[in-house]
Structure 1
Amino acid sequence: MMNELQVPGGAAGWRQHHAAQQPRYPDPQALADAAADLRTRPPLVFAGEVDSLREKMVLASQGRAFVLMGGDCAESFHDNTAVNIRLKLQTILQMAAVLTYGASTPVVKIGRMAGQYAKPRSSDTETRDGVTLPSYRGDSVNDHAFTAEARIPDPQRMVDAYLRAGTTLNLIRSFTMGGYADLREVHSWNRGFTANPAYKRFESFAEEIDRAMRFMEAAGVDFEALRQVDFYAAHEALLLEYEDAMTREDSRSGRLYDTSAHFLWVGERTRGADDAHVALLAGVHNPVGVKIGPTTTRDELLSLIDHLNPDGDPGRLSLITRMGADRIRDVLPPLVEIVRADGRPVTWITDPMHGNTITSENGYKTRRFDTIMDEVRGFFEVHRALGTVPAGIHVELTGDDVTEVLGGGEHIDEAGLARRYETLVDPRLNHQQSLEMAFEVAEMLRG
């Protein structure tokens, strides 16, 4: 219930730490006013929902569930429409149905949605044709248009992001509780996918699922009870003032929750164990994640666990690996061994996207589908060799037929990238490539 959450003024301990990747707002008073406005607004998610997700993350860490986390690299205000939200949700539901059959376990469905409006950047500025402006940091900070006015960080955009996140969550709840997620409907969408000759190799797998559905119907399974699903929201906890303003106290337990999302993660660029982002997430009860790359050291890894899950609470901490397909089989095993020797539980999730970014000959930032899948295979191989649990995947995807990632069953080539290259930051799997990934991962889950 909304009245179970009170505003304590945030968990401000992070202010004593180094804060990377923060916008340089020209008007400090405007920033203070926007944060004060956010503190008066209702939470976007609730403590009970967050606790439910945390319990499911425990199951995933034990191999009794599988995490599917997917959505836009960076959400945009312009594309925050009912159609786009529905298509992303449909894609994740379709993927989840396939993965559920492959894993024979529940799939925890988490969208990079309703809050993924900010992005870290490798440089504070961007130069085009001799003109240098502040980098685009996501729609909750500034505008993508390359003009001096558009690139000025505006704190009021955080309030706009909050409002759009709220409408997105409302629509998702309507879809997932109102019958749109009916398993029979989702299965019929997937049959349409495998009818495409480009995906004929998945036809026998789809026929197995079809027989299972007919068996369930003949056995009298109550499909009406399967018309609703739990769906959770996640984003990178990048804008510290926003996350602080959305941190509330649960009056039942006295715990602090970041009510901007059910699950928050810290990125590779902001994961310093003694830095502000880790300090902020250390103070909230949400399940949290950390992106770790191939240069992560033993001391860094153990220090992150010390800060984010010192007591070893199951379901609290996920390690989201982004190694690169060419390195994962070499650099991941020692890290897994370190965590296993430490003994505190984590949920291992693979991000096969960020370590495999390339630039095409015609200048597009892109990835190759085969390389992405090779990193996923490497992730499974490492965990199975060590007897640990590959608990989930974290991917950038869209429900649209964009052309941003090379390859896949319909074979997008370099010339094809120009047809519908629409991302504001990083390339995403399109709808067909996302489903192709789901079928391939389902086969890995069957082992």
Structure 2
Amino acid sequence: MTPNKEWTPNSWRAKPIKHNVEYTNQEALGRVLENINNLPPLVSPAEIDRLNKQLEKVSKGEAFLLQGGDCAESFSGCNAQQIEDKIKILLQMSLVMIWGMRVPLIRIARMGGQYAKPRSANTEVVDGKEVLTFRGENINGLEVDDREPNPDRLLRGYFHSAATVNYIRTLLNSDFANLHFPQNWNLEWVKSEDIRSEYKEIINKLADAFDFMKTIGVENGSPTLSSIDFYLSHEGLMLEYEEAMTERIQRMSQDESGKTQKKLSFVSLEKLGTESLEKSGDKYYNLSSHFLWIGDRTRQINGAHVEYFRGIANPIGLKVGPSLDPEELVRLLDILDPDFIPGKVTLIGRYGVSKVQAFLPQHIKAVQATNHKVVWCCDPCHGNTASTPEGYKTREYNNVIGEIGLSFDIHKTLNSKLNGIHLELTGEHVTECTGGSMNIEAKDLSRNYQSFCDPRLNYLQSLDIAFMVAKKYQ
């Protein structure tokens, strides 16, 4: 896809912007952005191109997307154990789903840059005092005396993202990504004997399959088993940061055997170009992450976020909910995907179990009337958030799986297909969402509630969903 000639990485600045951060020291902000602009990219264009190809298959129903991770990352969470826990649960979920669904899984983590969150109000009252709302650790601090947006936090966000990306690459190039581990999975948290028995049966079948492959000569060192594609994502909220991480990649024509081909040249990189694209083959990549999405609160057609996203070569997500008119959805797709590239846009539905039947069919029918080939993804977490009388934000597991199940059914009824799920989860044994095979109740939430933002599915609740999706997909 070639951006319109009027597009540049900073053309969004001429558009109205929602949920922007107002920095009092613009000079300091400029220095930080220049510094970030000169730092190395976090991902490569080749990786992004590979993900584009894989999401094309997802849009055709030839693969399935699993996207998950924290609501918002914290700087303190950038440590070996927490990173390992998140990678482990995503690998285990994907293994269960591949076994049950018999299709390839594309794994995208909400990691390595998910440090900012849009908030519904600019201020909040803490201990009787009105203060600026906490917006994520790359903007301001959680402590009430650290709420002034600080540009230096953007730089800290970059380095924490870089450390996360580096450690993930280390893990995936080691035996950590080796899939010969199902027999070691811990199911002691499953309270229902029937469910534990069902899970153990599936896990034993997985272990037996791996033993068989070893017997016929597929050893642990096989690249197919010990290495995987694993991608990173975050919401593209802070456009100053995203602009600073945007690079122009010059694509050069090459004549081979009488055929003109396009070939990436990584020797010609230009950051923050202010001129329009002159060569039809050139592309702009956001190299802060493989995949970025536009949130439900920042998808205004004439807004800054849509303007920025329409020009990057990355695959992009668009949060879709009850407030989005079907006609407006089509207009957004026409802007973000003018060349009708299969898998270019992932529509991440966040309706809520009580509203999905009323609104998802309208959106499916609207897209079916166009030439857009999107990835349909279900986010069953954001539309199902509630608060307890004690003030805990939580999600009921039955509502989460209820929305997933209804989404599968609605797509099938309309001759469409649900292509993925998008979850807020952690690999830890937190108590933030109720229900699941641990039978967490509202009174249990205080036992190990750790999230400073939205509640996350814990380790076993995430595995519960993997088993459920595998069976539903069949």
TM above 0.5, yes or no, is: yes
The residue type paired with residue 178 of structure 2 is D
Give secondary structure in 1 for the equivalent of 2:187: helix
Distance 1:306 1:104, change over 3 A: same
**What is the CA deviation profile of residues 78-97 of structure 1, one whole-angstrom value per residue up to 9, with x for unaligned ones?**
11111110111111111111
CA distance in 2, matches of 1:400, 1:194: 14
The equivalent position to 1:86 in structure 2, one of 75, 78, 84, is: 84
Q: Give the match for residue 270 of structure 2.
A: none
Secondary structure of the 2:247 match is strand
Counterpart of 1:105? 103
> Which runs of 5 or more residues in structure 1 are unaligned?
1-8
Offset, 1:222: 4.2
CA contact (8 A) 1:10 1:244 kept: no
Matched, 1:209 2:206: yes
Separation in 1 of the partners of 2:357 and 2:173? 41
1:331 is displaced (CA, Å) by 1.3
The structure 1 residue matched to 2:187, chosen from 172, 193, 196, is: 193
User: Corresponding residue for 2:165?
Assistant: 169
Q: How does 1:332-351 map to 2 (within 5 A)?
A: 332-351=360-379
Residue matched to 2:58: 60
Of the candidates 349, 368, 373, which is equivalent to residue 401 of structure 2? 373
SS across alignment from 2:221: helix
**Larger Cα-atom Rg:** 2
Alignment partners' CA distance in 2, 1:322 and 1:230: 26
What is the identity, as a one-letter code, of the residue corresponding to 1:165? S
Cα displacement (A) at 1:419: 1.1
DSSP-derived class of the 2:341 partner: coil
Among 391, 399, 417, the residue aligned to 2:427: 399
State the 1:10 CA deviation: 6.6
Percent identical across equivalent pairs?
38
The equivalent residue for 1:40 is 38
Match of 2:246 in 1: 247
Q: 1:204 Cα deviation (Å)? A: 3.2
Q: Conserved in 1, the CA contact under 8 Å of 2:292 and 2:315? A: yes
Tell me how far apart the structure 2 counterparts of residues 374 and 216 of structure 1 sit (CA, whole Å): 36
SS in 2 for 1:180: helix
C-alpha RMSD of matched pairs (Å): 1.6
Q: Measured at CA, do residues 151 and 195 of structure 1 come closer, stay the same or move farther in structure 2, by a change above 3 Å? A: closer
Deviations 1:342-373 (A, max 9, x none): 12100000100000000012110111011101
Shift of 1:50: 0.3
Quote the Cα distance in structure 2 between the aligned partners of 1:111 and 1:27.
33
Instruction: Please say if residues 59 and 373 of structure 2, whose CA atoms lie closer than 8 Å, have aligned partners that are also in contact.
Output: yes
1:119 to 106, 117, 120: 117
Instruction: Look up the equivalent residue of 2:183 and give its one-letter code.
Output: S
State the alpha-carbon separation in 2 of the partners of residues 95 and 257 from structure 1.
Answer: 30
Q: Which amino acid aligns with 1:188?
A: Q
Give TM-score, length-normalised by structure 1: 0.94
State the SS of the aligned residue for 1:70.
Answer: strand
1:307 corresponds to: 335
What's the counterpart of residue 466 of structure 2? 438
| More moved, 346-355 vs 129-138 | 129-138
1:330: how far off? 2.3
SS of 1:132's partner is strand
- Residues 375 and 315 from structure 1, CA distance in 2 versus in 1: closer, same or farther, beyond 3 angstroms? same
How big is the shift at 1:33?
1.1
Contact 1:194 1:202 in 2 (8 A): no
Deviation at 1:210, TM superposition (A): 3.4
> 1:322 touches 1:351 (CA, 8 Å); kept in 2?
yes
1:309–1:317: 8 Å Cα contact kept in structure 2?
Answer: yes
Letter in 1 for 2:166: N
Letter in 1 for 2:288: S
Structure 1 residue aligned with 2:156: 160
> Which residue among 251, 259, 266 is the counterpart of 2:294?
266
What's 1:4 paired with?
none
- Which AA in structure 1 matches 2:409? E
Distance 1:408 1:363 in 2: 21
> Counterpart of 2:350?
322
Q: 1:194 to 1:311 in 2, by over 3 A?
A: farther
Question: How far did 1:128 drift?
Answer: 2.2
Distance 2:468 2:199 in 1: 9
TM-score normalised over the length of structure 2? 0.89
Is the CA contact 2:327–2:366 (under 8 Å) kept in the aligned structure 1? no
Map of 2:258 onto structure 1: none
